[in-house]
Structure 1
Amino acid sequence: MQRNGSQYYDKEEFFHNFTLKRASKENPNDTIEKPIFIDLVGDVSHLNILDIGSGDGKFGIDLMNAGCKSYSGIEGSINMHHTAVKNLQTYKNINLVHSTIENWEFPKNHFDMVISRLVIHYIQDIEALFRNIYDTLTDGGRFIFSIEHPVITSTLQTNGQRTNWLVDNYFVSGIREQEWLGSTVYKYHKTIEDYFQALKSAGFKIESLRESLPKREHFEKEETYLRRLRIPLFLFLAATK
């Protein structure tokens, strides 16, 4: 069975719960993932950018305000797609497409930068995806993505705050099941080496790897900050064509 990560966000209860979670002040996406991602992306002036799994489009707003030339977003969830269209309706040079990543036809030599935030761990065949991304980039173009850290995907747990992180079957790549936000969610566990080798095989030159070290200034509570120091939540890779 083909499982697309976007399908979960079209379940109304899940979408509602996800929206509430993202609105919390100390959610890890905003306190850890976004600051590191912005640092890796750097200057986007005059760039044509493709966002794979663009979600609600809010990061597209950030990129347009930072001076990118155009923003294209591919999103498989109709709920997320409609939200993105609404959020970006006042901007020019926006192209938002409702499509799964696996089914979208990547144009050749078209984009200066491809980004993806916390989506690729839903993709089974990353080798094919990375080849498509390599082909859609212009010469010297960059690919930056974040995923759930393989330490996390190797030890998915049920809902509730984690009390331990027991890594198990780390070198057994494949689908993992998790109860999250009231639904059963499937993600593909891969090792750091798997992602690194897939990038190399596609032809990329890897320029940076980050593991989501938190910074105290992004947290209101000391307790939350200290807890985030215990385990890497996210993995980031940046590569160049």
Structure 2
Amino acid sequence: MEFRGSSVYDQSDFFTNYFNRRNRIDSPNNAIEGPIMLELVGNIKNHTILDLGCGDASFGKELLQLGARHYIGVEGSEQMVEAARSNLLELEATIHTKTMESYDYPSESYDLVTSRFAIHYVSDIDRLFRNIYETLKDDGRFVFSIQHPLTTSSFASKEAGDKRGNWIVDDYFRDGERKEPWINQVVVKYHRTIEQYFTALRQAGFTVRDLREGTPKREHFSSEEEFVRRQRIPVVLAFACVK
């Protein structure tokens, strides 16, 4: 069986195993992607923020603690929504049980739209980026991360297990569906080149201000071995854009 979008997170075993992996100190989420996202979002004092594919909204809690005025999370997994609402009790936050595709984007409503490791689940990024552009206020910003396209081009190197020792890059310029074996399930993701993401953002009207490929920094790792391993291939791609 294969899972699309956020549906895999409603599988109890997957949900538990995912958080066990994500919450490791040296996970890519914590040691690479998290510091980059915080740097790119910058000053968010009094911002109204929309977070697409918000998961358990731990990022939303952090943004509110940094001075955001209101946080709106959009999440398709019911288990994740329950975790998000629990994380945000008594905070200025709202969680919608919607997917990025089904959410009704209100015009010119947000100072910042974010998304972390979620947009690679979406088949139509042109439509998504247009919706995000329209829902931002003038000079509003869009900051997001995805799985690096070098790692989504082919999953042949995962046949030996989730922790790859080597990576196969193949079919890079053939975009579209990829079926990734991940945490004992098969998850559908969408592969695109860096150029395709950049072009889609420009066509939606955005100016791309920054791009990061997740260069590892030693101070974010507790393990020298894991730091050296993460220097071999990029696993994160992040964009900072402005309307």
Q: TM-score band, normalised by the shorter chain?
A: over 0.9
Aligned twin of 1:20: 20
Distance 2:200 2:23 in 1: 34
Aligned twin of 2:230: 228
Where does 1:1-241 land on structure 2 (aligned, <5 Å)?
Answer: 4-91=4-91, 93-156=92-155, 157-158=158-159, 159-241=161-243
Q: CA deviation at 1:95?
A: 1.2
Distance 1:119 1:160 in 2: 19
Q: CA deviation at 1:49?
A: 0.4
Aligned pairs, how many? 239
RMSD: 1.2
What is the TM-score with the length of structure 1 in the denominator? Answer: 0.97
What is the TM-score with the length of structure 2 in the denominator? Answer: 0.96
Percent of aligned pairs with the same amino acid: 46
Q: CA deviation at 1:72?
A: 0.2
CA contact (8 A) 1:113 1:141 kept: yes
Q: CA deviation at 1:3?
A: 6.3
Structure 2 residue matching 1:50: 3-state secondary structure:
strand
CA contact (8 A) 1:13 1:182 kept: no
Distance 2:63 2:134 in 1: 22
Structure 1 residue matching 2:6: 3-state secondary structure:
helix
CA contact (8 A) 1:22 1:29 kept: yes
Which runs of no fewer than 5 residues in structure 2 stay unpaired?
none
CA contact (8 A) 1:153 1:189 kept: yes
Once the two structures are superposed, residues 39-67 of structure 1 have per-residue CA deviations (whole angstroms, 9 ceiling, x without a partner) of 00101001100000010011111000000
Distance 1:215 1:24 in 2: 16
Which runs of no fewer than 5 residues in structure 1 stay unpaired?
none
Distance 2:103 2:23 in 1: 30
- After TM superposition, the runs of 4+ consecutive aligned structure 1 residues lying more than 4 A away are none
CA contact (8 A) 1:110 1:137 kept: yes
Change in Cα spacing, 1:234 to 1:4, as seen in structure 2 (3 Å) is: same
Distance 1:57 1:160 in 2: 25
Between 1 and 2, higher relative CO (CA 8 Å, sep ≥ 6) is seen in: 2
Q: CA deviation at 1:5?
A: 1.7
